[in-house]
Amino acid sequence: MNLIGISINHRTAPIELREAVHLSTDEITELTIILKEEIFTDGFILSTCNRTEIFGYPKKNFLNASEIIDQLLKFKPVKNIANSNFNKYFNCSAVKHLFMVASGIDSLIIGDSQILGQTKEAFQLSEDLSFTGTILKRLADTTIKVGRRAIKETNVSEGAVSVSYAAVQVVEKIFADLSTKSALVIGAGETGELAATHLFDKGVSRLAISNRTLSKANALASKLKADVVSFERLAENLHQFDIIFSATSADGFVIQQDVVKNAMRKRRGSPIVLMDIAVPRDIDPASRELENVFYNDIDSLNIIVSQNLKKREEEIPLVQNIIMDEMINFFSWFNTLDVVPAIKIVREFFEEMGSDELSKIKNKISEDDYLKVEDMTRRLIGRLLHNPIVKLRELAETGTNLQDAASHSLMIKTLFNLNGADKTKLNENSNED
């Protein structure tokens, strides 16, 4: 099969190195052209925030994985990076690795379903660049199938595994329909942006951003089509929102209990959800004592995250079963690539030999007798070929030993001198016998 690949990921290198070798779509296109010219007949490149991987079928019989690493680092020079920062994969291990990646069980966050879409895009770009042959196309289809089966047939991607998303799921349990609710996110940093994005994706009726630095609030609000609330006027605007997320880096409380109490008075007791996902906390935890106030901080949300991660980890054996199932199917198909032509060549050889012998007696016997001999010849050839053909197909379809089917195919072709020999000469040799 000769599939070979390399991977630098969250297991092998710190984020500084992963960022340094990350490839944009344009860079992948440029590197693909180089790989096509110098290393691979076909292949693909996957590059995300947590991994950069290059896989392909070498042009030469032997290719050291280090040569792929050298090509990557020549294209994208990085200091203080070593071969040990890369995993190397060959044949079966390469296929298994790709299946693990697509299913999400090799991700930093187990069950990450986003990687499936990224893998699909990587294969599609390879095909668009004419860098995909028959075997790689089949491998791509099977890899995507593994990812889809993992999502559909297991719970490996279910349950929130980030604090921001866990908070949104808690909100959904309190308010069944978020499309009728308004939300305010305080803090426009990474955590705040993630929370705001989740709320936006859930379709809240109104989304607003507040941040101490107004320009950052405006930038995030523009991205999510949200309103902006002045950080200095939070207290007087708090009552307008059903959901409050706070994720600032302030030293003390941004929202005191009396501010929440005043907001509840203006809301006439209408429920409000407070999600404090900041460290240290932004919202006075005493606010939970107020009626119709649903308060959660990062500790309570981390419990949810931990429980969901444990549930995902428990699903890994089920995903591994899917991977093994599809590996067997893929290699069964791959093994038949050698077997089908061998069967075709042997069958054609015997049928031509039978036709040649029949032609010698065609004018020497009656038409009825000729038809009987022709039928007998056909049945005899079928019986002679039945066992070797069945055995070859069995070897190919079980996929237990990648070399057996190819070895038996070669042996049969060698025994009958079918390795590219001239068929006329073969028939002449058979006449001499």
Q: Are residues 374 and 347 in the same domain?
A: yes
Q: Answer whether residue 320 is part of any domain.
A: no
Please say if the pLDDT value at position 307 is more than 90: no
Q: Are residues 25 and 150 in the same domain?
A: yes
pLDDT tens digits for range 209-219: 999 999 999 99
Q: Are residues 120 and 168 in the same domain?
A: no
pLDDT tens digits for range 84-136: 999 999 999 999 999 999 999 998 889 987 899 999 999 999 999 999 988 89
Q: Are residues 152 and 208 in the same domain?
A: no
Q: Are residues 209 and 343 in the same domain?
A: no
Q: Mind telling me the catalytic residues?
A: 49
Of 32, 39, 37, 98, nearest to 64 by C-alpha is 39
Gap between the Cα atoms of 79 and 31, Å rounded: 19
Neighbours of 402 (CB within 10 A): 15
Q: Are residues 113 and 175 in the same domain?
A: no
Mean of the per-residue pLDDT values of the chain: 89
pLDDT tens digits for range 366-380: 989 999 999 999 899
Residues 39 and 63: beta-carbon distance below 8 Å? yes
Q: Which two tokens stand for residue 264?
A: 């509840």
Task: Give the residue numbers spanning the domain of 133.
Answer: 4-156
Q: Phi-psi category of 401—alpha, beta or left, where left has phi over 0 and alpha has psi -120 to 50?
A: beta
Q: Answer whether residue 422 is part of any domain.
A: yes
Q: What is the total count of domains within the chain?
A: 3
Gap between the Cα atoms of 112 and 85, Å rounded: 22
Q: Answer whether residue 268 is part of any domain.
A: yes
Q: Predicted confidence band at 389 (pLDDT cuts at 50, 70, 90)?
A: confident
In 154-292, which ranges are continuous DSSP H helix?
163-174, 190-201, 214-224, 234-237, 257-266
Which tops the pLDDT comparison, 305 or 174? 174
List own/partner pairs for 250-256 with CB under 8 A and 24 or more apart: 250/212, 250/278, 250/280, 250/282, 251/280, 253/281, 253/282, 253/283, 253/284, 254/186, 254/278, 254/282, 254/283, 255/186, 255/282, 255/283, 255/284, 255/287, 256/284
pLDDT at site 406: 60
Q: Answer whether residue 307 is part of any domain.
A: no
